């Protein structure tokens, strides 16, 4: 059974590990410290002030290229997306090799669940935020 459905079982293993990684990162993370809202606002305000003063003095606006740094959260997100995609690909290969359809489908579904987890959680958070805002507005407006 395992020798015949190698791609499907490998996809299930890879998809399971990827889904476990995504859920663990979601529940325990983020692991990289984030700057506070106050420091972000102060930094942006100072940058706007300097840009406005430079524009008043006739200096050309110089845009600074921002390099996006790699941190542990970004690395985990990329690794989990790669593992989820690998599980989907292994499921497709298993299906194409006429392996057991349930095994190939399980590999593909685990990979898709991994890939869709973060956007789905963002949508759920947006819905909860909208409900909270509607509740606050309803309480304020009567």
**Cβ contact 80:18 at 8 Å:** yes
Q: Residue 127 has what pLDDT?
A: 97
Q: How many domains does the chain have?
A: 1
Cβ neighbours of residue 95 closer than 8 Å, sequence gap 6 or more: 101, 104, 105, 108
pLDDT in single tens digits along all 142 residues of the chain: 667 899 999 999 999 999 999 999 999 988 998 888 888 888 889 888 888 888 888 888 777 777 778 999 999 999 999 999 999 999 999 999 999 999 999 999 999 999 999 899 999 999 999 999 999 999 988 7
The answer to the question of residue 84 being in a domain is: yes
- The span from the CA of 132 to the CA of 126, in Å, is 10
Residue range of the domain that includes 70: 6-116
What distances in angstroms separate CA 96 from CA 1, 4, 49, 51, 137, one per listed residue? 17, 13, 60, 58, 54
Element (H, E) at 57: none
The answer to the question of residue 44 being in a domain is: yes
Q: Residue 98 has what pLDDT?
A: 94
């Amino acid at each position: 059974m395992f020798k015949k459905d190698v791609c499907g079982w490998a996809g299930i293993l890879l998809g399971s590990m990827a889904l476990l990684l995504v859920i663990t990162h979601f529940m325990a993370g983020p692991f990289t410290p984030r700057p506070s809202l106050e420091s972000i606002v102060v930094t942006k305000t100072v940058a706007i002030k300097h840009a406005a003063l430079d524009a008043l003095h006739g200096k050309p606006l110089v845009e600074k290229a921002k390099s996006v740094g790699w941190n542990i959260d970004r690395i985990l997100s990329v690794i989990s997306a790669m593992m989820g995609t690998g599980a989907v690909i292994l499921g497709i290969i298993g299906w194409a090799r006429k392996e057991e359809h349930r095994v190939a489908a399980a590999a593909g579904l685990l990979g898709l669940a991994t890939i869709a987890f973060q956007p789905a959680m963002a949508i759920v958070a947006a819905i909860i935020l909208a409900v909270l805002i509607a509740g606050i507005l309803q309480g304020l407006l009567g």
